[in-house]
A and B are shown apart, each in its own frame.
Chain A
Amino acid sequence: MRTGVAFGLAHATLRLGGKVLWADLSLSVPNAEFVAVLGPNGTGKTSLLRTLLGLQPLSAGRVEVLGSAPRHGTPLVGYVPQQRAFDPDLTVRGRDLVAMGLNGHRWGFTVRPEPVERRVNEFLELVGARGYADAAIGRLSGGEQQRLRIAQALIGEPRLLLCDEPLLSLDMSSQQTIVQLLAEWSHRRGVTVVFVAHDINPLLGAVDRVLLLAGGRWAFGSVEEVLTSATLTRLYNSPVEVVRLGQRVVVVGAELGGHDHLPEHSAVSQ
């Protein structure tokens, strides 16, 4: 599985509510790569993940995931969502959240908890969450919750891991921890990671390729290929300047991503 294609799209188009999110999207991602998906709000980043999950059919073109058409609910594809608030009184502990990644989709209830518990402990250890695994999840910080999310996704041993803005509302050091965890796992296990983000900087050390979606257009390639003034100017259809400032990539004239709830065209100002 180390070599070969994790997923691919051929002339894929997605139309939702009469609007073309992306058109003629063709790309192929090899196993064990770390792909960042960037782009303004409403350009279909989450819809792309839903397509790969088998929850969203394409309007045109083809999509293949791990050698076949996307199959909804396959254990080979994992999913990490955005951090969200849980009620502090919700009777769910960190370890329960992780266990759901292992068997939450199966009917009935857990008859023999010991083997499940052992495996859950193993993955809690992996993400460094043993210390707060018995506290209610609603009482944990965003960074702690997202570590549990990573364990929840990895415990199913997926070949492809889809992450939808898992860094949103986390501080810088938590962002780094989450990205490192995923990058290491991807490296060691040959797992492909697709990571929707609103900023490339926390991902710079981990990312192999970038898919940038903007205004129905797209670009795919390495950071150096995609995040250039010329490419962004073409995609955003207005002058954009990309500057390297030490370790950071700074984009002037456009938003790389966002949750600013503004229509995408407002990103093209200045």
Chain B
Amino acid sequence: MIGLWHYAFIQHAVLAGVITALVAGCVGPFVIMRNMSFAVHGLAEVGFTGAAGAILAGLPPAAGVLTASFAAAAAIGLLGVRLRERDVAVGSVLAFGVGLGVLFLSLTSRYATEAFTILFGSILAVSQRDVERSLLVGVVALLALTAIYRPLRFASIDPEVAEARGVPVRFLSSAFLMILALAVTEAVQVVGALLVLTLLIVPAGAATRLTSDPVRTVAWSIAIALGATLGGLACAVSTSLPVSFFVSGFSFAAYLIARALGPRLLGAAGPAAPPDPETE
């Protein structure tokens, strides 16, 4: 890949990949902490609908992904207040969204290949404009996450006490959904709507197996997302097999390794608790 660096499409792909991995690596631990894997998947599928709609209207697909996942995030935020309601709300929004996507696809059969790249990623086709848009979205997502980082953690881990201490739990829940919509938009560009979990869940899932320290969790999560994305790009360029396959392969491998190593690492980090004798 280094030998191909002078090609603009390689530069664009690497830049977009790095931005995406950074955002996904930071957002992922919160997705896991808040049990929101299903919401991520839902936002991505609705993002696909947005892309199909954008293609139909002659707009850039990424703008469609962003608009649709944002709208879906707002809808989920409004419909699902409690955890149990949220899954049902996500499912309802998702199902309707994908239904619309099917309609749009049938109307744009000429551009079906373009819709295909939305489902499975198109990082080797990103333009200078796409990189700029990706950078803007990434910066907004990371700034927003930085601003709410501490109370969001409090509200995610300990909602009762956070509420008692005056943390605006509901506001943070909606704000995080919006950040998630931005992260999903980034990830769709790299691995496609069907594979966003490979960047938004898997690296963070591996990271939580490696450490209990919250700062190190984010660091590991970013490192694994970066490694999977750049490694995937390099392999795809030299074999001409799909990027998404390699990215998901690398991140899955990292997860399996972390699972295998995790118990030993965590055992060394702190005294292992005895099996709980205190609960009746």
A residues touching B (Cβ–Cβ < 8 Å)? 53, 55, 72-75, 77, 79, 81, 86, 89-93, 96-97, 100-101, 103-110, 131-136, 139-144, 152, 156, 162, 169-171, 174
Contact = CB atoms under 8 A, between A and B. Distances in A.
Contacts of B29: 91
Contacts of B272: 135, 139
B165 interface: yes
Top 10 A-B residue pairs of the complex, sorted by shortest distance between their CB atoms: A73-B166, A104-B154, A135-B270, A79-B164, A134-B270, A109-B149, A136-B212, A141-B278, A91-B217, A139-B273
Contact of A92 (B150, B164, B214): B214
Q: Is the interface of B mostly helix, strand, loop or mixed?
A: helix
A89 B279 contact: no
A142 B208 contact: no
Nearest to A134: B270
A142 B273 CA distance: 11
A169 B166 CA distance: 27
Contacts of B165: 73, 75, 79, 101, 104-105, 156
B148 A107 contact: yes
A22 to B, nearest CB: 21
Contacts of A156: 165
A93 B167 contact: no
Q: Is the interface of A mostly helix, strand, loop or mixed?
A: loop
B279 A93 contact: no
Interface of B: 29, 33, 146-151, 153-154, 157-158, 160-167, 207-209, 211-214, 217, 266, 269-274, 276-280
Contacts, number: 123
B270 A132 contact: yes
B250 to A, nearest CB: 21
A136 B210 CA distance: 12
B153 to A, nearest CB: 7
Given A134-B212, A134-B270, A107 B33 contact: no
B280 A108 contact: no
- Select the residue from B209, B266, B278, B279 with max chain A CB neighbours within 10 A: B278
A227 B105 CA distance: 72
- Select the residue from A53, A101, A139, A144 with max chain B CB neighbours within 10 A: A139
B271 A131 contact: yes
A230 to B, nearest CB: 33
Contacts of A108: 146-147, 149-150
Contact of A136 (B154, B167, B266): B266
Contact of B278 (A106, A132, A142): A142
A97 B157 contact: yes
